[in-house]
Chains A and B, each alone.
Chain A
Amino acid sequence: MKTLLILGAGTGGTMMANKMASTLDLKEWRIIIVDKDETHYYQPGFLFIPFGVYRPEDVVKPKRNLLPKQVEVVFGDLELIEPEKNKVTLKDKKTINYDYLVVATGSCIYPDETPGLREGWHQNIFDFYTPAGAAKLHDFLETWQGGRFVLNVTEMPIKCPVAPLEFMMLADWYFQKRGIRNKVELVYATPLPGAFTKPICSTMLAGILKTKNITVFPEFNIMEVDNSKQVIRSYDETEVPYDVLVSIPLNKGAEVIKNSGMGDSLDFIPTNKHTLQTDKWENVFIIGDAGNVPASKAGSVAHFMLDIVAENMLSHMKGQEMHASFDGHANCYIETGFNKAVLIDFNYDVEPLPGAFPLPGVGPFTLLGESVINHWGKLAFKWIYWNLLLKGRDIPTVHSHMSMSGKKPVPALKSQKI
């Protein structure tokens, strides 16, 4: 009997377990998945919790129910991965030997990496990347009477690079709904040179932010938080004052990657961006954002990686060449408030373009433009996530590789710098 071991039962690990349980010959293979947490969180839902759209209980399900019966589920903390020995050790000293390993340990926030960030933590400084942070922020905002509301991204890359923008646009909507928008100043301080990472999309989103009176403070690289003066300070000594600071702290890979010496300077594992096999170990693959591939750290990306990882791993198991190639495909709904959203679809080489999605000329979704239907797409995604995505099933008409059909190139903007 051979063993396929999957580390992490989040978005990537769960879909991988489901996919492999229906693909591998289970008379020959046993599949084990390890995770420390028995609860699965619908992470795209965290964004909505501070504004009362979702409650914390709306975004959770027991992990066991999302995994197939044939998969052995082990709940426990990982201590060490020894890829040279094909062995994983848990904190309780239980060891698991494997023939193939899929690392799906994702990325986490590390607030302790920024001096001063912990000082007013969950008092006037919040995060919304954890269920606890999002819930605390919701409680705080309900009675807040206004002031300077600053969102800061510590350092790129972060999980879901559009989340900060969505957060600010939802904040604009939320404070209007509460009737205190005129008492709130919304400021977005980012290390990026503009609103987003890709030029055409950045220009378009900058326009939307401007109409919503959200100030963007670009190229702000935070050095420290001084909560006694209520300012964040950058490496070039610029200060941005705040009354409430919402931080997206440094994102890094899991502790176990660091402890096992497998990662880069941010504890992401060096991985071939097309085959999704790790650079150093041929029987170790990556799904989701545990690797260092230059794609967005998002659930849709993990979904588009799934078939590629499965196909390449099966080829490798048979001693064949790996032919499947990941193109960096990402597909993100960006909430813009007032029941509208923008949809973007892009990959390693093609930045988000305007058009219709997924059917050319028909849609129903509008690419790189605001629409109400896009917003319903975003909310419907929660159903798709639990019922199709995690099960490793295809989403009708949306494929692993990005399609150019329905997209309109924008030559005029191509030369524009951000």
Chain B
Amino acid sequence: MVLLHLVALLIGALSSSDSEIPDLGGERSVQVAAPQDSAGVAVLVHGEEESGHLDPSQIRRIFLLRQRFWSDGTPVAPVNLPAASPLRETFSRLVLGQSARDLAEYWKDLYFHGTQPPPVLDSEEAVLLYVTRTRGGIGYVSLSFLSRVSLPSSVRVVGEWGGGDGQS
């Protein structure tokens, strides 16, 4: 029975989908390129959600899935960049107030309660498209990316951090 259990453990560990399981590997979760000093991040929301500026504590609650509804009752739909993205580390540090490594522990605990982290999109272009099309959507892009694109009318910027000026 013990041998069967051990085999099942190994098969289970090595076969399930990577994207759903928080990384248990501690420091390996932050083996990413260091963010550039000039890196800044902007948070975008679908235009119908909330009004004005969102403070960091509210954005933190949203991305940690502690706030799951906008004030009008619409479900919040946050989206992340990949764990290895330097912009994600910048966002974690500047806006969420914790490193990706420390947040990995948080997601690991929540997985045990039936909660998976926000879905991941591969690029800033994909994040912009997602927020444009998704009611309740919220995501983040770099300030440099933001300066290069023309935002559709359904997307609003609700906060900017970094870029040498801190929050703006």
Q: Do they bind each other?
A: no
